[in-house]
Amino acid sequence: MRKRMVAVTTLGCKVNQYESASFVNKFEEAGLEVVPFSTEADIYVINSCAVTGKAGAQSRQAVRKALRLNPKARIVVTGCYTQVATQEILEIADHPICIVGNDNKHLLVDIALSDKFCDLEIYMGDIGRKKEICSLPVKKFTGRTRAYVKIQDGCNNFCSYCIVPYARGRVRSLAPVEVFRQLDVFEREGYRELVLTGIHVGMYGRDLQPRESLTSLVCLIGERKDQVRYRISSLEPGEITDEMLGCMAGAEKFMPHFHLPLQSGDDGILAKMNRKYSAHEFEQTIARIFSFMPEAAIGLDVMVGFPGEDDAAFRHTLELIERLPVAYLHVFPYSKRPGTMADAMENHLPKSVKDERASLLRELDHKKRTAFYSKYIGTTRKVLAETNKNRFKMMKGFSENYIPIHFDAPLSVSNQLVQVKIERIMDQNVFGVMVAGPAGDEENRQKRLF
């Protein structure tokens, strides 16, 4: 008798990726075979995204693709798009689709395996009233050397362009004891690098009793005796304190790498976005990071074409980024989201203007990456080797400060920390030479000799 087959596809953020890994682990424990989403399966799971209009369209496309691959399959849709556009999903098919809200993801595998028809009253809820985080332990991330650790869910910010607080609810945090239990699992499974992630990571712990903070969690992790590298996903500038930076800089396990959502360098646009800082305060945050971690890689999210962004406002953004010593940019043209405050604003910009501005910022991104990578030519970096599945057929891995380096090495060093000397850059691709293998190689060689 053949195994039942399940296919899972994930759109959007690292939190969704973490949650999908939990689904996959549970399906495997239940005896199902996990297959690619492009193949015929008995069950399809779509972990959807709603952060942009395009993400919503991709979520609908994934449902239609599953229906084409196997019209008789059980289809389960979860994620942010289900929270804000339930009816749009239900109208895609002429037979029941299982809709699982973000606050019921811990039930998803049982729902997927059930023979009963789906009841929306059971699986959807008022996410805004949810007080506790949905617990989804993960054992492994299939095919990955870096794992994500979901420590927090929800957001209280209500930026005027963002649908996420409506889709994810208010801030809810995983208790420190549960965080450490998940860290222990990943350490036993052999992961060498973990990323602390959430919807608004910097708000971690403020809902817990007794009250906790991301700073206190970071300092506790810094005291662990594990041999794991840690990174933190996106942080708001006002959440990066001297105490946090001191704990990170004092513990070698925290990598000098930060990702910050700038969004705009114009104070007027920042106010319209309902962001909680000025361009000057943002610049001060960057300086504070470098005072603790001089080799830090800092990446920025930048949104262009927000309603009312005139030439002067865009120029302020361009000029601010030009003088900031950042390593890379993620550029997003503003996308209308029904239900947000920005959707009802006046002076929406035409697509041509947004595309032109995005192109200028991507050119700046190219300059920033090249300048940052070039600073480290001739230096030797500690790299976590990951995979040789790239167009150069070379091993690739990331340095402590998030430089992606290609180098010749046997596949056996995958998931190992190696020393790589950076030699050259070619069109933003960094190449180096491995000068020392995994730690302990020399010791093991000596043991074999005797």
In a domain, 283, yes or no: yes
Question: Based on the domain organization, do 317 and 173 belong to the same domain?
Answer: yes
What domain count does the chain have? 3
What single letter denotes the amino acid at residue 267? D
Omega before 307 cis (within 30°)?
no
Domain harbouring 185, CATH code: 3.80.30.20
Which candidate, 273, 286, 201, places its Cα nearest to that of 237?
286
Q: Which domain holds residue 19?
A: 5-125
Question: Based on the domain organization, do 385 and 241 belong to the same domain?
Answer: no
Tokens of 89: 């999903």
Q: Which pLDDT score is estimated for 128? A: 58
* DSSP states along 247-303: HHHHSTTB-SEEEEEEE-S-HHHHHHHT-S--HHHHHHHHHHHHHH-TT-EEEEEEE
Task: Compute the C-alpha angle 76/77/79, nearest 5°.
Answer: 140
Q: Which of 374, 389, 421 is the last residue of a domain?
A: 374
Question: Based on the domain organization, do 314 and 419 belong to the same domain?
Answer: no
Give SS3 for 397. Answer: strand
In a domain, 250, yes or no: yes
Which residues neighbour 154 within 8 Å (Cβ) at sequence distance 6 or greater? 130, 165, 168, 169, 170, 171, 172, 199, 200
pTM > 0.85: yes
Question: Based on the domain organization, do 273 and 218 belong to the same domain?
Answer: yes
- Sheet hosting strand 5-10, strand order edge to edge: 33-35, 5-10, 43-48, 74-79, 98-100
Which candidate, 197, 189, 198, places its Cα nearest to that of 140?
189
Main-chain phi, psi angles of 261, to 5 degrees: -85, 95
Phi/psi class of residue 6: alpha, beta or left (left: φ > 0; alpha: ψ in -120 to 50)? Answer: beta
In Å, how far from its chain's centre is CA 214? 17
| R_g of the chain computed on alpha carbons | 23
Residue for token digits 């993620």? 330
Question: Are 337 and 57 spatial neighbours (Cβ–Cβ below 8 Å)?
Answer: no
Q: Which pLDDT score is estimated for 127? A: 55
Question: Based on the domain organization, do 273 and 414 belong to the same domain?
Answer: no
**67 to 46, 111, 139, 378, 431: CA distances (angstroms):** 12, 18, 30, 53, 43
Question: Based on the domain organization, do 98 and 156 belong to the same domain?
Answer: no
pLDDT tens digit at each of 450 positions of the chain: 678 999 999 999 899 999 999 999 999 999 999 999 999 999 999 999 988 888 889 999 999 999 999 999 999 999 999 888 888 888 887 777 889 988 889 999 999 999 887 765 456 555 556 667 777 888 888 777 889 999 999 999 999 999 988 888 899 999 999 999 999 999 999 999 999 999 999 999 999 999 999 999 999 999 999 999 999 999 999 999 999 999 999 998 999 999 999 999 999 999 999 999 999 999 999 999 999 999 999 999 999 999 999 999 999 999 999 999 999 999 999 988 888 999 999 999 999 999 999 999 999 999 999 999 999 999 999 999 998 889 999 999 999 999 999 999 999 999 999 999 999 999 889 999 999 888 544 433 332 222
Residue 361: which H helix or E strand, with range?
helix 351-374
Question: Based on the domain organization, do 369 and 387 belong to the same domain?
Answer: no
Question: Based on the domain organization, do 404 and 359 belong to the same domain?
Answer: no
Give SS3 for 168. Answer: helix
